[in-house]
Amino acid sequence: QGNACHHCLISFFPPTQVIKCKAAVIWEPKTPFSIVEIEVAPPKAHEVRIKILASGICRSDDHVLSGALKVTFPIILGHEAAGVVESVGEGVTSVKTGDKVIPTFVPQCGECSPCIHPRGNLCKLNDFGTFVGLLPDGTSRFSYKGELIHSFVSTSTFTEYTVVHESSVAKIDAAAPPEKVCLIGCGFSAGYGAAINSAKVEPGSTCAVFGLGGVGLSAVMGCKAAGASRIIGVDINKDKFPKAKEVGATECVNPLDFEKPINEVLHDMTEGDGVDYSFEVVGHTDTMIAALTSCNMNYGTSVMVGAPATGSEITLPPGLIITGRVWKGTVFGGWKSRDSIPRLVSDFMQKKFTLDPLITHTMPFDKINEGFELLQAGKR
Protein backbone atom coordinates (compact mmCIF):
# COMPACT_ATOMS: atom_id res chain seq x y z
CA GLN A 1 0.00 0.00 0.00
CA GLY A 2 1.98 2.97 -1.28
CA ASN A 3 1.51 6.58 -0.33
CA ALA A 4 1.71 9.58 -2.61
CA CYS A 5 2.29 12.52 -0.31
CA HIS A 6 1.41 16.07 -1.24
CA HIS A 7 4.34 18.29 -0.20
CA CYS A 8 2.74 21.72 -0.18
CA LEU A 9 2.40 24.50 2.33
CA ILE A 10 -0.99 24.74 4.01
CA SER A 11 -2.66 28.03 3.20
CA PHE A 12 -6.18 29.16 3.98
CA PHE A 13 -8.49 30.98 1.60
CA PRO A 14 -11.76 32.80 2.20
CA PRO A 15 -14.53 30.16 1.91
CA THR A 16 -16.09 32.04 -1.02
CA GLN A 17 -12.92 31.92 -3.12
CA VAL A 18 -12.16 29.43 -5.86
CA ILE A 19 -8.85 27.66 -5.31
CA LYS A 20 -6.53 26.85 -8.18
CA CYS A 21 -4.38 23.81 -7.43
CA LYS A 22 -2.71 20.74 -8.88
CA ALA A 23 -4.72 17.57 -9.43
CA ALA A 24 -4.13 14.22 -11.10
CA VAL A 25 -6.88 13.86 -13.70
CA ILE A 26 -7.82 10.78 -15.73
CA TRP A 27 -9.44 11.70 -19.03
CA GLU A 28 -10.23 8.17 -20.17
CA PRO A 29 -9.41 4.59 -19.09
CA LYS A 30 -6.05 2.99 -19.82
CA THR A 31 -4.26 6.33 -19.87
CA PRO A 32 -1.83 7.79 -17.31
CA PHE A 33 -2.65 10.56 -14.86
CA SER A 34 -2.26 14.13 -16.08
CA ILE A 35 -1.08 16.62 -13.48
CA VAL A 36 -2.97 19.81 -14.32
CA GLU A 37 -4.14 22.96 -12.59
CA ILE A 38 -7.83 22.72 -11.77
CA GLU A 39 -10.28 25.00 -10.05
CA VAL A 40 -11.92 23.87 -6.82
CA ALA A 41 -15.07 25.81 -5.99
CA PRO A 42 -15.87 26.75 -2.38
CA PRO A 43 -18.00 24.40 -0.30
CA LYS A 44 -21.76 24.79 -0.45
CA ALA A 45 -24.10 24.12 2.47
CA HIS A 46 -23.13 21.01 4.47
CA GLU A 47 -19.86 20.64 2.55
CA VAL A 48 -16.22 20.76 3.60
CA ARG A 49 -13.17 21.82 1.58
CA ILE A 50 -10.05 19.89 2.59
CA LYS A 51 -6.35 20.43 1.98
CA ILE A 52 -4.99 16.93 1.27
CA LEU A 53 -1.80 16.14 3.18
CA ALA A 54 -1.26 12.51 2.13
CA SER A 55 -3.12 10.04 -0.05
CA GLY A 56 -2.70 6.30 -0.40
CA ILE A 57 -2.80 4.41 -3.67
CA CYS A 58 -5.46 1.69 -3.66
CA ARG A 59 -6.30 -1.15 -6.03
CA SER A 60 -9.82 0.24 -6.54
CA ASP A 61 -8.28 3.34 -8.13
CA ASP A 62 -6.27 1.07 -10.42
CA HIS A 63 -9.49 -0.75 -11.45
CA VAL A 64 -10.67 2.57 -12.91
CA LEU A 65 -7.40 3.01 -14.80
CA SER A 66 -7.69 -0.48 -16.31
CA GLY A 67 -11.34 -0.05 -17.20
CA ALA A 68 -12.50 -2.77 -14.80
CA LEU A 69 -14.65 -0.25 -12.91
CA LYS A 70 -16.96 1.80 -15.11
CA VAL A 71 -17.04 5.48 -14.11
CA THR A 72 -17.73 8.79 -15.82
CA PHE A 73 -14.72 10.69 -17.17
CA PRO A 74 -12.88 12.97 -16.73
CA ILE A 75 -12.38 12.10 -13.09
CA ILE A 76 -10.12 12.71 -10.09
CA LEU A 77 -9.48 9.43 -8.32
CA GLY A 78 -8.19 8.75 -4.79
CA HIS A 79 -10.19 7.82 -1.71
CA GLU A 80 -7.66 7.00 1.03
CA ALA A 81 -6.32 10.20 2.53
CA ALA A 82 -5.78 12.53 5.45
CA GLY A 83 -5.92 16.29 5.38
CA VAL A 84 -6.88 19.48 7.14
CA VAL A 85 -10.12 21.44 6.83
CA GLU A 86 -9.56 24.62 4.79
CA SER A 87 -13.13 25.94 4.94
CA VAL A 88 -16.69 24.79 5.62
CA GLY A 89 -20.04 25.57 4.09
CA GLU A 90 -23.17 26.77 5.82
CA GLY A 91 -24.62 24.40 8.39
CA VAL A 92 -21.45 22.33 8.98
CA THR A 93 -21.10 21.61 12.71
CA SER A 94 -18.94 18.49 13.06
CA VAL A 95 -15.67 20.01 11.84
CA LYS A 96 -14.13 23.47 11.56
CA THR A 97 -11.27 25.17 9.76
CA GLY A 98 -7.93 23.75 10.90
CA ASP A 99 -9.25 20.34 12.02
CA LYS A 100 -7.26 17.32 10.87
CA VAL A 101 -9.62 14.91 9.10
CA ILE A 102 -9.95 11.76 7.05
CA PRO A 103 -12.42 11.89 4.14
CA THR A 104 -14.38 8.66 3.81
CA PHE A 105 -15.77 6.97 0.70
CA VAL A 106 -18.52 5.45 2.87
CA PRO A 107 -20.47 8.40 4.27
CA GLN A 108 -22.42 8.31 7.53
CA CYS A 109 -25.39 10.64 7.53
CA GLY A 110 -26.74 9.08 10.72
CA GLU A 111 -30.33 9.24 9.50
CA CYS A 112 -30.89 6.63 6.74
CA SER A 113 -31.75 2.98 7.46
CA PRO A 114 -28.20 1.57 6.97
CA CYS A 115 -26.82 4.24 9.32
CA ILE A 116 -29.47 3.51 11.94
CA HIS A 117 -29.34 -0.30 11.67
CA PRO A 118 -26.81 -1.81 14.10
CA ARG A 119 -25.28 -3.97 11.35
CA GLY A 120 -25.49 -1.38 8.59
CA ASN A 121 -22.77 0.97 7.34
CA LEU A 122 -23.45 1.63 3.64
CA CYS A 123 -25.07 5.05 4.01
CA LYS A 124 -27.55 5.93 1.28
CA LEU A 125 -25.49 9.03 0.42
CA ASN A 126 -22.70 6.77 -0.89
CA ASP A 127 -21.48 6.83 -4.49
CA PHE A 128 -19.92 3.39 -4.13
CA GLY A 129 -21.02 1.07 -6.93
CA THR A 130 -23.08 3.71 -8.75
CA PHE A 131 -20.10 5.97 -9.52
CA VAL A 132 -22.20 8.99 -10.46
CA GLY A 133 -19.16 11.15 -9.72
CA LEU A 134 -21.06 14.10 -8.26
CA LEU A 135 -21.77 15.46 -4.80
CA PRO A 136 -25.17 14.68 -3.23
CA ASP A 137 -26.70 17.82 -4.77
CA GLY A 138 -25.87 16.51 -8.26
CA THR A 139 -23.03 18.94 -9.01
CA SER A 140 -19.22 18.97 -8.91
CA ARG A 141 -16.79 21.40 -7.31
CA PHE A 142 -13.99 20.49 -9.77
CA SER A 143 -13.41 22.07 -13.16
CA TYR A 144 -10.61 22.39 -15.72
CA LYS A 145 -10.76 25.24 -18.22
CA GLY A 146 -14.50 25.37 -17.69
CA GLU A 147 -15.02 21.62 -18.11
CA LEU A 148 -16.63 19.67 -15.26
CA ILE A 149 -14.38 17.09 -13.59
CA HIS A 150 -16.10 14.20 -11.79
CA SER A 151 -15.33 13.03 -8.28
CA PHE A 152 -14.68 9.46 -7.16
CA VAL A 153 -16.67 7.73 -4.40
CA SER A 154 -17.47 10.92 -2.50
CA THR A 155 -13.82 11.81 -1.87
CA SER A 156 -11.36 12.44 -4.79
CA THR A 157 -8.07 12.76 -2.95
CA PHE A 158 -5.55 12.90 -5.83
CA THR A 159 -5.73 16.68 -5.69
CA GLU A 160 -4.28 19.32 -3.41
CA TYR A 161 -7.80 20.35 -2.41
CA THR A 162 -11.07 18.46 -2.47
CA VAL A 163 -14.66 19.14 -1.44
CA VAL A 164 -16.77 16.50 0.30
CA HIS A 165 -20.15 16.38 1.97
CA GLU A 166 -20.03 16.71 5.75
CA SER A 167 -21.24 13.11 6.05
CA SER A 168 -18.02 12.01 4.32
CA VAL A 169 -15.46 13.49 6.71
CA ALA A 170 -14.26 12.35 10.14
CA LYS A 171 -12.29 14.52 12.56
CA ILE A 172 -9.17 12.81 13.92
CA ASP A 173 -6.39 13.40 16.44
CA ALA A 174 -4.42 16.49 15.41
CA ALA A 175 -1.15 14.72 16.26
CA ALA A 176 -1.79 11.75 13.95
CA PRO A 177 0.78 11.44 11.13
CA PRO A 178 -1.17 11.88 7.87
CA GLU A 179 1.22 9.76 5.80
CA LYS A 180 0.29 6.77 7.96
CA VAL A 181 -3.29 7.26 9.14
CA CYS A 182 -4.45 7.99 5.59
CA LEU A 183 -4.53 4.18 5.24
CA ILE A 184 -7.37 4.09 7.77
CA GLY A 185 -9.47 5.84 5.13
CA CYS A 186 -9.72 2.59 3.17
CA GLY A 187 -7.17 -0.23 2.99
CA PHE A 188 -6.39 -0.93 6.60
CA SER A 189 -9.96 -0.49 7.81
CA ALA A 190 -11.38 -2.65 5.02
CA GLY A 191 -9.13 -5.63 5.73
CA TYR A 192 -8.89 -5.35 9.51
CA GLY A 193 -12.64 -4.83 9.85
CA ALA A 194 -13.43 -7.75 7.54
CA ALA A 195 -11.95 -10.04 10.17
CA ILE A 196 -13.07 -8.20 13.30
CA ASN A 197 -16.55 -7.04 12.26
CA SER A 198 -17.73 -8.91 9.19
CA ALA A 199 -16.44 -12.42 9.89
CA LYS A 200 -16.21 -12.03 13.66
CA VAL A 201 -13.19 -14.34 13.77
CA GLU A 202 -13.05 -16.31 16.99
CA PRO A 203 -10.05 -17.16 19.19
CA GLY A 204 -8.38 -20.42 18.21
CA SER A 205 -9.87 -20.47 14.72
CA THR A 206 -8.19 -21.20 11.38
CA CYS A 207 -8.23 -18.52 8.66
CA ALA A 208 -7.10 -18.21 5.05
CA VAL A 209 -6.48 -14.84 3.39
CA PHE A 210 -6.44 -14.81 -0.43
CA GLY A 211 -4.35 -11.86 -1.64
CA LEU A 212 -1.53 -10.35 0.42
CA GLY A 213 -1.53 -6.74 -0.71
CA GLY A 214 -2.18 -3.92 1.73
CA VAL A 215 -5.80 -4.89 2.39
CA GLY A 216 -4.94 -8.59 2.65
CA LEU A 217 -2.17 -7.85 5.16
CA SER A 218 -4.69 -5.83 7.14
CA ALA A 219 -7.05 -8.82 7.12
CA VAL A 220 -4.19 -10.96 8.46
CA MET A 221 -3.67 -8.39 11.21
CA GLY A 222 -7.38 -8.51 12.02
CA CYS A 223 -7.36 -12.30 12.24
CA LYS A 224 -4.38 -12.15 14.58
CA ALA A 225 -6.00 -9.47 16.74
CA ALA A 226 -9.12 -11.64 16.99
CA GLY A 227 -7.05 -14.54 18.32
CA ALA A 228 -6.91 -16.89 15.32
CA SER A 229 -4.44 -19.69 15.98
CA ARG A 230 -3.67 -20.41 12.34
CA ILE A 231 -3.60 -17.83 9.54
CA ILE A 232 -2.74 -19.08 6.06
CA GLY A 233 -1.74 -16.47 3.49
CA VAL A 234 -2.48 -17.29 -0.15
CA ASP A 235 -0.84 -15.42 -3.03
CA ILE A 236 0.83 -16.15 -6.36
CA ASN A 237 3.61 -13.67 -5.50
CA LYS A 238 6.03 -15.30 -3.05
CA ASP A 239 7.74 -11.98 -2.44
CA LYS A 240 4.77 -11.03 -0.27
CA PHE A 241 5.18 -13.97 2.11
CA PRO A 242 7.80 -12.49 4.48
CA LYS A 243 5.74 -9.41 5.25
CA ALA A 244 2.59 -11.51 5.67
CA LYS A 245 4.38 -13.59 8.28
CA GLU A 246 5.69 -10.43 9.91
CA VAL A 247 2.13 -9.19 10.53
CA GLY A 248 0.70 -12.50 11.69
CA ALA A 249 0.43 -15.20 9.00
CA THR A 250 1.51 -18.55 10.40
CA GLU A 251 2.22 -19.98 6.94
CA CYS A 252 1.86 -19.01 3.28
CA VAL A 253 1.09 -20.99 0.14
CA ASN A 254 1.38 -20.24 -3.57
CA PRO A 255 -1.40 -21.81 -5.69
CA LEU A 256 1.05 -22.09 -8.59
CA ASP A 257 3.12 -24.59 -6.59
CA PHE A 258 0.35 -27.21 -6.70
CA GLU A 259 -1.28 -29.27 -9.42
CA LYS A 260 -4.56 -29.46 -7.52
CA PRO A 261 -6.91 -26.51 -6.87
CA ILE A 262 -5.94 -24.31 -3.91
CA ASN A 263 -9.20 -25.09 -2.09
CA GLU A 264 -8.21 -28.77 -2.07
CA VAL A 265 -4.75 -27.83 -0.81
CA LEU A 266 -6.28 -25.91 2.10
CA HIS A 267 -8.57 -28.83 2.93
CA ASP A 268 -5.52 -31.11 2.95
CA MET A 269 -3.74 -28.67 5.28
CA THR A 270 -6.69 -28.77 7.71
CA GLU A 271 -7.21 -32.55 7.82
CA GLY A 272 -10.09 -32.32 5.37
CA ASP A 273 -12.11 -29.82 7.37
CA GLY A 274 -11.39 -26.63 5.51
CA VAL A 275 -10.70 -23.34 7.27
CA ASP A 276 -13.13 -21.69 9.66
CA TYR A 277 -12.86 -18.32 7.93
CA SER A 278 -11.62 -17.29 4.49
CA PHE A 279 -11.17 -13.85 2.98
CA GLU A 280 -10.99 -12.98 -0.71
CA VAL A 281 -8.98 -9.76 -1.05
CA VAL A 282 -8.23 -9.88 -4.77
CA GLY A 283 -11.51 -9.02 -6.48
CA HIS A 284 -11.54 -11.92 -8.96
CA THR A 285 -14.52 -14.24 -9.29
CA ASP A 286 -12.37 -17.37 -9.49
CA THR A 287 -10.60 -16.60 -6.22
CA MET A 288 -13.95 -15.73 -4.61
CA ILE A 289 -15.18 -19.24 -5.38
CA ALA A 290 -11.85 -20.74 -4.29
CA ALA A 291 -12.09 -18.91 -0.97
CA LEU A 292 -15.68 -20.05 -0.48
CA THR A 293 -14.88 -23.70 -1.17
CA SER A 294 -11.81 -23.51 1.08
CA CYS A 295 -13.87 -22.98 4.20
CA ASN A 296 -15.73 -25.68 6.10
CA MET A 297 -18.86 -26.85 4.27
CA ASN A 298 -21.03 -26.64 7.40
CA TYR A 299 -19.78 -23.88 9.69
CA GLY A 300 -17.27 -21.99 7.54
CA THR A 301 -17.62 -18.30 6.70
CA SER A 302 -16.11 -16.69 3.61
CA VAL A 303 -15.96 -12.91 3.21
CA MET A 304 -15.56 -11.08 -0.11
CA VAL A 305 -13.38 -8.01 0.47
CA GLY A 306 -11.87 -7.28 -2.96
CA ALA A 307 -13.82 -5.09 -5.38
CA PRO A 308 -14.82 -7.03 -8.55
CA ALA A 309 -14.87 -5.64 -12.06
CA THR A 310 -18.09 -3.95 -13.17
CA GLY A 311 -20.47 -6.54 -14.62
CA SER A 312 -18.76 -9.55 -13.03
CA GLU A 313 -20.99 -12.57 -12.44
CA ILE A 314 -20.59 -15.82 -10.53
CA THR A 315 -22.29 -19.15 -11.18
CA LEU A 316 -22.02 -21.91 -8.59
CA PRO A 317 -23.96 -24.96 -7.41
CA PRO A 318 -26.31 -24.24 -4.47
CA GLY A 319 -24.90 -27.28 -2.70
CA LEU A 320 -21.89 -25.17 -1.73
CA ILE A 321 -24.16 -23.01 0.43
CA ILE A 322 -27.05 -25.24 1.49
CA THR A 323 -24.79 -27.31 3.72
CA GLY A 324 -24.35 -24.32 6.02
CA ARG A 325 -21.49 -22.25 4.65
CA VAL A 326 -21.89 -18.49 5.03
CA TRP A 327 -20.83 -16.33 2.09
CA LYS A 328 -20.91 -12.61 2.61
CA GLY A 329 -19.45 -9.33 1.48
CA THR A 330 -18.14 -6.34 3.36
CA VAL A 331 -17.80 -2.62 2.66
CA PHE A 332 -15.16 -0.65 4.55
CA GLY A 333 -14.77 -3.57 6.94
CA GLY A 334 -18.24 -3.08 8.35
CA TRP A 335 -17.23 0.09 10.21
CA LYS A 336 -19.64 2.99 10.60
CA SER A 337 -17.18 5.45 9.15
CA ARG A 338 -17.48 8.72 11.06
CA ASP A 339 -17.95 6.91 14.37
CA SER A 340 -15.12 4.41 13.85
CA ILE A 341 -12.37 6.33 12.04
CA PRO A 342 -11.53 8.57 15.03
CA ARG A 343 -11.41 5.50 17.30
CA LEU A 344 -9.17 3.60 14.88
CA VAL A 345 -6.81 6.58 14.69
CA SER A 346 -6.81 6.73 18.49
CA ASP A 347 -6.00 3.01 18.65
CA PHE A 348 -3.12 3.58 16.23
CA MET A 349 -1.79 6.45 18.33
CA GLN A 350 -1.96 4.16 21.38
CA LYS A 351 0.08 1.57 19.42
CA LYS A 352 -2.69 -1.04 19.46
CA PHE A 353 -1.73 -1.80 15.84
CA THR A 354 0.93 -0.63 13.40
CA LEU A 355 0.58 0.68 9.87
CA ASP A 356 4.28 0.71 8.96
CA PRO A 357 4.26 -2.74 7.25
CA LEU A 358 1.60 -1.49 4.85
CA ILE A 359 3.74 1.40 3.58
CA THR A 360 6.33 0.37 1.02
CA HIS A 361 7.00 3.69 -0.70
CA THR A 362 6.43 7.37 0.06
CA MET A 363 6.48 9.51 -3.07
CA PRO A 364 5.78 13.13 -4.06
CA PHE A 365 2.50 13.90 -5.79
CA ASP A 366 4.05 14.37 -9.23
CA LYS A 367 5.32 10.77 -9.12
CA ILE A 368 1.80 9.34 -8.96
CA ASN A 369 2.12 7.43 -12.23
CA GLU A 370 5.27 5.74 -10.92
CA GLY A 371 3.35 4.84 -7.77
CA PHE A 372 0.72 3.05 -9.82
CA GLU A 373 3.39 1.26 -11.81
CA LEU A 374 4.71 -0.13 -8.50
CA LEU A 375 1.18 -1.18 -7.55
CA GLN A 376 0.64 -2.93 -10.87
CA ALA A 377 4.00 -4.70 -10.58
CA GLY A 378 3.09 -6.03 -7.12
CA LYS A 379 5.91 -4.07 -5.49
CA ARG A 380 3.82 -2.24 -2.93
Active site amino acids: 58, 60, 63, 79, 186
74 preceded by cis ω (within 30°)? Answer: yes
Name the packing angle between helices 368-376 and 59-66 (round to 10°): 90
Q: Can you tell me the distance from the alpha carbon of 13 to that of 90, in angstroms, rounded to the nearest whole number?
A: 16
Do 226 and 196 meet the contact criterion of CB atoms below 8 Å apart? yes
Cβ atoms 149, 75 nearer than 8 A: yes
Please report which residue ranges of 44-139 form alpha helices under DSSP H.
59-66, 113-116
Cα gap 76→90, rounded to integer Å: 25
Q: Which residues of 144-162 are buried (b: 16+ CB within 10 A; e: fewer)?
A: beeeebbbbbbbbbbbbbb
Give which of 377, 368, 372 is closest to 52, Cα–Cα: 368
351 conformational bin, left if phi > 0, alpha if psi -120 to 50, beta if neither: left
